[in-house]
Amino acid sequence: MHGLLDISTLHYLVLGAALFLLGVIGVLTRRNVVIVLMSIELILNAVNLNLVAFSRYWQGMSGPHGGPMALHGQVFAILVITDAAAEAAVGLGILIAFFRNKETVNVDEVNLLKW
Amino acid sequence: MNPPVATAFFFYLLAATMIIGGVLVITRKNAVHSALALITALLAQAGLYLMLYAPFVAGVQIILYAGGIMVLFLFVIMLISIERNMKERQFNKQWLIGIVAAAALGGLFIAVYTTTTRGQQLFPEGRLAYGEAQNTQAVATLLFDRHTGTYMFSFEIASLLLLVAIIGAVVMAKKRI
């Protein structure tokens, strides 16, 4: 087992898992659409933390995939941040259009497509 | 290369900031408070990126996330009226199921992270022996270089995605669709 004071990749993974779970709880239980979107940001950040932690892990490894140039995780993290920006823009645009129609941001009342 | 100073202390400080910020995000009644807690968590995460020798990602995190996306969130919170929403119930009827589902997922994480194969931990310690001075250059080499740019196509797709998102956001926010 790792020592608690010797920070390893696993520490970052556990922190990422905790943040991911917080985001999942927020998405599943909150009724305010804005806070649901923020919880999604929390989930994306947990994934980013994992990606960067794995990038550092592979930089410390030797072999064909490891080495100091193994920055693939960081590139992935940048692409995920791009995706988060696009998602926030479109999601908040949808939210504004919805608020204009129904005068609420309660996710329980987003049922126009419900059959 | 000198060993880092007080790594464990800063890791736990930033991790506690992130966890507390995350809990505040999903429990506050006022959406503005949630947004401020999320900004705090994002800045702490930028600090963790620095600890992971990823200064470029840390800068992108601060500029794009804490600076750009969260300002967008705050703008939208101020465009929609939050007074009525704050008087309503904040959690929906399936909060119990939600927490049970999250607990099941957490159990899965614990099961995976404590797995040992042939007496070895799943993620053995990887020691980093290189500095971060060349980090931005190395990331750019992966993204743009003609020969080693593995992610050039992904980068172009990402820019296309941003274009689509801009058009989508403008169309969505129009008065009459």
Q: Please, which residues 22-61 of chain A have a Cβ atom closer than 8 Å to chain B?
A: 22-26, 28-32, 34-35, 37-39, 41-42, 45, 48-49, 52-53, 55-61
Tell me, yes or no, whether B2 and B84 share the same domain: yes
| Residue B125 located in a structural domain | no
- Domain end call among B56, B88, B120: B88
Residues of chain B in contact with residue A17, where contact means CB-CB under 8 angstroms, are 106, 109, 113
| Residue B100 located in a structural domain | no
Highest mean pLDDT among A9-18, A38-47, B79-88, B95-104: A38-47
A15: nearest CA partner in chain B: B15
| Residue B7 located in a structural domain | yes
Ramachandran bin of B15, using left for φ above 0, alpha for ψ from -120 to 50, beta for the remaining angles: alpha
> What is the pLDDT confidence band of residue B1, given thresholds at 50, 70 and 90?
very low
> What is the pLDDT confidence band of residue A75, given thresholds at 50, 70 and 90?
very high
**Mean local confidence (pLDDT), B19-25:** 95
Tell me, yes or no, whether B17 and B80 share the same domain: yes
Q: Residue A40 sits in a domain of what CATH number?
A: 1.10.287.3510
Tell me, yes or no, whether B84 and B138 share the same domain: no
Q: How far is CA A78 from CA B30, B44, B140, B145, B158, in A?
A: 30, 17, 11, 17, 10
* Full residue range of the structural domain in which residue B153 is found: 133-177
B35: nearest CA partner in chain A: A38
| A26 vs A49: CA distance, rounded Å | 19
Highest mean pLDDT among A3-12, A35-44, B127-136: A35-44
Domain count, chain A: 1
Higher pLDDT, residue B148 or B172: B172
| Residue A99 located in a structural domain | yes
| Residue A35 located in a structural domain | yes
| Residue A112 located in a structural domain | no
| A59 vs A71: CA distance, rounded Å | 7
| Residue A46 located in a structural domain | yes
In what helix (H) or strand (E) does residue B152 lie, and over which residues does it extend?
A: helix B152-172
The 10s digit of each residue's pLDDT in B51-93 is: 888 899 999 999 998 889 999 999 998 888 767 777 777 777 7
ipTM of the complex as predicted: 0.89
Q: Please, which residues 119-138 of chain B have a Cβ atom closer than 8 Å to chain A?
A: 121-123, 125-130, 135, 138
| B19 vs B5: CA distance, rounded Å | 23
- Domain end call among B31, B61, B88: B88
Whether residue A1 is predicted with pLDDT greater than 50 in this model: the reply is no
| Residue A108 located in a structural domain | no
| Residue B94 located in a structural domain | no
| Residue B115 located in a structural domain | no
The 10s digit of each residue's pLDDT in A31-44 is: 888 999 999 999 99
CA A53 to chain centre: 14
Instruction: State whether residue B144 sits within 8 Å of chain A by CB.
Output: no
| Residue A81 located in a structural domain | yes
Beta bridge partners of A32: A106
Domain count, chain B: 2
| Residue A115 located in a structural domain | no
| Residue B54 located in a structural domain | yes
* Full residue range of the structural domain in which residue A70 is found: 9-103
| B23 vs A42: CA distance, rounded Å | 10
Lowest mean pLDDT among A53-62, A84-93, B119-128: B119-128
| Residue B99 located in a structural domain | no
Instruction: State whether residue A113 sits within 8 Å of chain B by CB.
Output: no
Lowest mean pLDDT among B47-51, B106-110, B133-137: B133-137
Tell me, yes or no, whether B70 and B138 share the same domain: no
